[in-house]
Structure 1
Amino acid sequence: MRVSILLALVLSLAACAGPRTIPDDSRSQADEAIAALEKTCNEYDAKNRLAACRRLVRYRPNDWKAHMNLGWLLYRSGKVPEGVAHLRKADSLQPGNDEIKYRLGVALFKRGDLGGAERCLRKCVALKSGRFDAWFALGRLLRKEGKIKEAIDTLRKAAQLKPRAVGPWNELALAYVQSKDYPNAIEAAKRVVELRPEDANAHNNLGLYLLNSGNAKDAIQYLEKSVKLDQRNPTAWYNLGLAYTATEDYERAACAFDAALRLKKDFASSHHNLAVVMLTLHLCRAAEGHFERAREQGIKSLPVVQEQFDKICGKKKEGEQAVGGGQASAGK
């Protein structure tokens, strides 16, 4: 009987209370807060954008744009695996979106999933054929995969879409070098120099391609321009030394290799080539020192170079000993 009375009391109290509802003002405040998060998450230079996107995907787990923005922000901040996860989520929610395909492709490329990146970027350009950034990213990826012919065609497409963009021309030059097509590599590198006349690396690259194609004389002007624009680049000085050596301007070659070594003391190839130049100039002591430093860093001379050293410097040492012996005799 007592239990029945207690049960009736509870039920009567519940009936009086009725269902509890969220006041309209509380609901509107929550909506306003989420709208503010969405605005911050979508604004490119908004402060606390990453934190806003994180909160937004908790409130809206099926918001593809929030996942896309969060994934991209994480990728750009170096948190690539987490970024890829959110970009995949965005792609599953909105599978026909070219922007998601592009961003996921780029993030997968960074992560090292070249196959997945290639599939995403191919789908991106299929969805929207005028996307320069996707064609360019795909061309870079194909070159990295060793698909050189297709990379060249893809990068040319990117260059057609944006002729004054440096990136595709620079990548084209590298692709042509990989295929040993130096004439086309040189043409692409010249385009980079035209677009960036004050870029020291552009001049260095063009000079190097000319040098490797056997045109050292023309290479010199670009390599000289490179070191003029950036005197702190040891590689450019080294390449200039190679060009001077190829044109038999050995004194300038020695100066260029020496400049490279002043900037990078452990530059083994520069030590070795400077030694060869010193040997050619019959400066045996200097040649011997640089050969020794090159050996210490793992570069050994070819037998023909060693033979030449013995031939030139061996005779010179014999001559010095003979002169020294004569002077000693005269002093007695």
Structure 2
Amino acid sequence: MEETLISAIEYSVANHLQGNAVFLAERLHAHAKSETSTYYLATAYLNQGKAHQALAVLKGAQSERNRYLGALAAFRLGLFQEAEGFLVDGGLSEEGVGNVPNGAAGLFLLGMICKKLNQRERAIRSFSDSLKINPFLWCSFETLTAMGGDMDPAEFFGIDSPSEISQILPHVENLQINVPQPPLHKVTPEITLPQVAHKPKLHPTTPSIAKSIVKRIFESASTSPEEPEFLLKMNPIFDTKFIDKASTAVASPFAAPKPKTTEAEIPAKNQRKKPNAAPVKNAPGPVATPSGPKKLFEVPAASSIKQPQKNIPKAQPTKLAHQVDVMDIDREMNKPKTTQPTEQPQPLQPIPQIQQNLLQGTVQVLTLFRTIGEGLRLLNQYACSEAILAFQKLPKNQYKTGWILCHVAKAYFEMVQYVKAKQIFEEVRCLEPYRTSYMELFSTILWHLKEEVQLSYLAQQLTEMDRNSAGAWCAVGNCFSLQKEHETALKFLKKAIQLDSDFTYAYTLSGHEYISSENWDKATSCFRNAIRLDPRHYNAWYGLGMIYYSQEKYTSAEYHFRKALQINPKSSVLYCYVGMVLMEQKDYENALEMLTAAIQIDPKNTLAQFKKAAVLVSLNDLDNALLELTRLKEKAPKEAPIYILMGKIYKKP
């Protein structure tokens, strides 16, 4: 009965019948309460978005798989201390790994929990450890760089050639190869290693990191005594707050049903083999939040930057030749008996060719990750020009994708090249009109360029496509802000926060709207919330500096501007405002240094040029001041303050 119910549950989940899966899992749990039934019931609840019920069922669970599910449910509910308790039940080792369940996925979840608890160093260590266990866990690297970790991608994706990988692959002996049949729970075909008669041994000179890669990627998962092998068919659908790709073999519950096979296609008992390699999938990144100050008075604003979860393939249970899948009975009853296969089996590939294909595929994926990772690392360090060059090294079919182009557009945005950034976002809209991520950044670009019609059209498209997208409502807020309807803009930004309370960019935009209406207290609260969610969100530090600057609290303003500059040392705007604060404090020498640096970074920063001329006048360097104003007059011939300051210089004896 148990196997029948489990097969039916998997069929329901594979076909997105979550309500039916819950009903069947409840019947399984009522029939025999065990760690296995608890796992299936909690998984069904999580898939249906019922984290409270899942957590209640998992209270007191002991198996590693259920501890992981308990941590996942508690994390979704914001119970971070309880989530941590599920994961580190056995304590942590000196390396910080300890008895964390579910391998790399468990360490990634632990890193997310530590990030929420503001334990930055521990979070970074957890993300790094998860990548060392499974280098295909892209979400760990993405979160790691977003937290400011300046990690070399080669440290995690550094295998350069098939010969290097071949040194870390186990030796395959006594192989028996059959044409693999897609299991019930697989969505896409999986490359599997042949069954090995004897446990493989690595070469004595193989590095420890190589051994760990072999163990976690190329070996099949083992089962625990209380978790039978058939349990390894399922894995929960993970929350959109993070991406999971564990190395222990667990199958995707959102998978396609198993194709039928004829009797002739069923392999003999001594030829049967289990999946032995987890499918390598490229996971899109969590959710780094685009960010950027929305208004910088006369100066263009600087800005800064927040998926479905991947599941873990599981080992397929061994079936006897006479057994039939429970959900296939109806189709078998009407199927004529035959002893001849309907189609000839595919020719078997030679073992060296299978190994070679696996090696080449691994090299290609890791090389791709290394190139993308280098671009992302540079971008998060605000080395925007270098990041663009790194992304441009990608193959055309990878470069011309929404995720890559959005990051390239963000790099141009950080360099205040709004026209170029707009062009790239328009290309993204053509390539992937369904994309909503990073569109809040596109709306801010249109706000700066005063593109009212295009901004209104973008906001309408995004809300029609996904009314539950926080970024879409940020675009609507920007649309009304451009029309000077600040109260209406704030209503839509509050809706964005209601949809996603962790969306840092919505708090930043709200803070700038409050600045526009001179509501300093609420603006301060918004910026502090943004910093609470992301301490590296330099736009929030900049926003607080703007508030104190407007209140003539220059010491506090300098502190916050310098905090922002520490995070983003490539911002001409931040150098300019630090120089302006020093100028107000009559520290003219240091002010001149900061303003000169701002102009060197962005020669088009007219505010920095004007303030530099004013500092030169204060230092009685009238000739250089007049020269600076003459250059500035050519760039902004209709700005009255330039002529006023020039008149004051000519008036002096």
Give TM-score, length-normalised by structure 2: 0.31
- 2:34 counterpart of 1:97: yes
Q: Deviations over 1:16-56 (max 9, x none)?
A: xxxxxxxxxxxxxxxxxxxxxxxxxxxxxxxxxxxxxxxxx
Flag the 1:163–1:276 CA change in 2: closer, same or farther, 3 A: closer
Flag the 1:110–1:205 CA change in 2: closer, same or farther, 3 A: same
Q: Deviations over 1:206-264 (max 9, x none)?
A: 6415xx24x5xxx141378659824379963552232453xxx5642341365689443
Contact 1:170 1:192 in 2 (8 A): yes
Q: Which residue, 7, 17, 25 being the options, matches 1:79?
A: 17
Q: Separation in 1 of the partners of 2:154 and 2:412?
A: 18
Q: Separation in 1 of the partners of 2:117 and 2:48?
A: 26
Instruction: Tell me how far 1:186 sits from its aligned partner.
Output: 0.9
Q: Separation in 1 of the partners of 2:133 and 2:374?
A: 23
Q: Which residue, 62, 69, 82 being the options, matches 1:137?
A: 69
Q: Separation in 1 of the partners of 2:393 and 2:37?
A: 48
Q: Which residue, 88, 92, 110 being the options, matches 1:156?
A: 88
Matches within 5 A, 1:317-328: 318=634
Contact 2:35 2:66 in 1 (8 A): no
RMSD: 4.2
Q: Deviations over 1:167-213 (max 9, x none)?
A: 211111122222232101111112113223x437267236415xx24
Q: Separation in 1 of the partners of 2:46 and 2:377?
A: 35
Q: Give the aligned partner of residue 443 of structure 2.
A: 298
Q: Separation in 2 of the partners of 1:112 and 1:252?
A: 41
Report SS of the residue matched to 1:199: coil
Matches within 5 A, 1:105-124: 105-122=42-59
Mark the runs of 5 or more structure 1 residues left unpaired by the alignment: 1-62, 280-286, 322-332
Give TM-score, length-normalised by structure 1: 0.56
Q: Give the aligned partner of residue 125 of structure 2.
A: 187
Aligned-partner residue type, residue 22 of structure 2: V
Contact 2:52 2:73 in 1 (8 A): no
Q: Give the aligned partner of residue 141 of structure 2.
A: 204
Q: Separation in 2 of the partners of 1:193 and 1:290?
A: 34
Hey, which of these two has a bigger chunk of helix by percent? 1
Instruction: Tell me how far 1:269 sits from its aligned partner.
Output: 5.2
Q: Separation in 2 of the partners of 1:205 and 1:71?
A: 34
Q: Separation in 2 of the partners of 1:205 and 1:268?
A: 15
Flag the 1:233–1:312 CA change in 2: closer, same or farther, 3 A: farther
Q: Separation in 2 of the partners of 1:173 and 1:139?
A: 12
Q: Give the aligned partner of residue 273 of structure 1.
A: 411
Q: Give the aligned partner of residue 322 of structure 2.
A: none
Instruction: Tell me how far 1:292 sits from its aligned partner.
Output: 3.9
Q: Give the aligned partner of residue 311 of structure 1.
A: 606
- 2:535 counterpart of 1:240: no
Q: Separation in 1 of the partners of 2:400 and 2:608?
A: 29
Q: Separation in 2 of the partners of 1:66 and 1:160?
A: 36
Report SS of the residue matched to 2:59: helix
Matches within 5 A, 1:56-67: 63=1, 66-67=4-5
Q: Separation in 2 of the partners of 1:156 and 1:84?
A: 28
Flag the 1:137–1:153 CA change in 2: closer, same or farther, 3 A: same
Q: Deviations over 1:46-95 (max 9, x none)?
A: xxxxxxxxxxxxxxxxx56533442344334432221221221222333x
Contact 1:135 1:155 in 2 (8 A): yes
Contact 1:136 1:155 in 2 (8 A): yes
Q: Give the aligned partner of residue 57 of structure 1.
A: none
Flag the 1:292–1:225 CA change in 2: closer, same or farther, 3 A: same
Tell me: higher relative CO, structure 1 or 2? Use CA pairs within 8 A at least 6 residues apart: 2
Contact 1:176 1:184 in 2 (8 A): yes
Q: Give the aligned partner of residue 362 of structure 2.
A: none
- 2:152 counterpart of 1:221: yes
Flag the 1:113–1:311 CA change in 2: closer, same or farther, 3 A: same
Q: Deviations over 1:140-167 (max 9, x none)?
A: 1111111111112212237644678212
Q: Separation in 1 of the partners of 2:129 and 2:16?
A: 33
Q: Separation in 2 of the partners of 1:265 and 1:101?
A: 40
Q: Separation in 2 of the partners of 1:295 and 1:193?
A: 31
Q: Give the aligned partner of residue 289 of structure 1.
A: 419
Q: Separation in 2 of the partners of 1:204 and 1:254?
A: 19
Q: Separation in 2 of the partners of 1:156 and 1:134?
A: 13
Flag the 1:299–1:235 CA change in 2: closer, same or farther, 3 A: farther
Report SS of the residue matched to 1:298: helix
Q: Give the aligned partner of residue 20 of structure 1.
A: none
Contact 1:172 1:188 in 2 (8 A): yes
Flag the 1:66–1:187 CA change in 2: closer, same or farther, 3 A: same
> How many residue pairs get matched?
235
Q: Give the aligned partner of residue 36 of structure 1.
A: none
Mark the runs of 5 or more structure 2 residues left unpaired by the alignment: 91-96, 161-365, 427-441, 449-538, 540-545, 547-571, 577-601, 610-630, 638-653
- 2:379 counterpart of 1:252: no
Aligned-partner residue type, residue 113 of structure 1: K
Aligned-partner residue type, residue 253 of structure 1: A
